Amino acid sequence: MSGYHDIGGLPAGPIPRVELPFQHWEKQAEAIRNLLGDGSRRLVSLDEIRRGFESFGLDKYQAYSFYRRRLEAMIDTLQSKGLLTREEFERELAKVQRRWTGDPCLRP
């Protein structure tokens, strides 16, 4: 049985033949995923992340890019294991974003 994420063979129009560069946050999210799933930590497996984004539902799945789906599924998995809450993630993300935008209150 195919899920909404199994789109192989469906009509979708031409495939764009443009290589898009990685965004900085995509590289960071992938590095974090690699660290969380490495041989010594094994906190989140790639299969858990895949299962997570394949259970988003069609609207959420289609609304996110590939790396955003992976990030959201990783956060959901960490939360379900009691290792992180979405609120903790959002709070830390806001701190990082303020540092990048130059908020003097958060400079080291």
Range of 86's domain?
44-101
**Is 17 part of a structural domain of the chain?**
no
**Separation of alpha carbons 11 and 4, rounded Å:** 14
**Is 24 part of a structural domain of the chain?**
no
**Is 52 part of a structural domain of the chain?**
yes
Pick the residue with more confidence: 1 or 13? 13
Percent of the chain with pLDDT over 70: 84
**Is 28 part of a structural domain of the chain?**
no
pTM comes to 0.76
Model confidence band, residue 97 (pLDDT cutoffs 50, 70, 90): confident
**Is 18 part of a structural domain of the chain?**
no
DSSP 40-97: TT-SS-HHHHHHHHTTS-HHHHHHS-HHHHHHHHHHHHHHHTTS--HHHHHHHHHHHH
**Separation of alpha carbons 72 and 53, rounded Å:** 8
Percent of the chain with pLDDT over 90: 48
Counted domains in the chain: 1
* Each residue's pLDDT tens digit, 27-56: 999 999 999 999 888 999 999 999 999 999
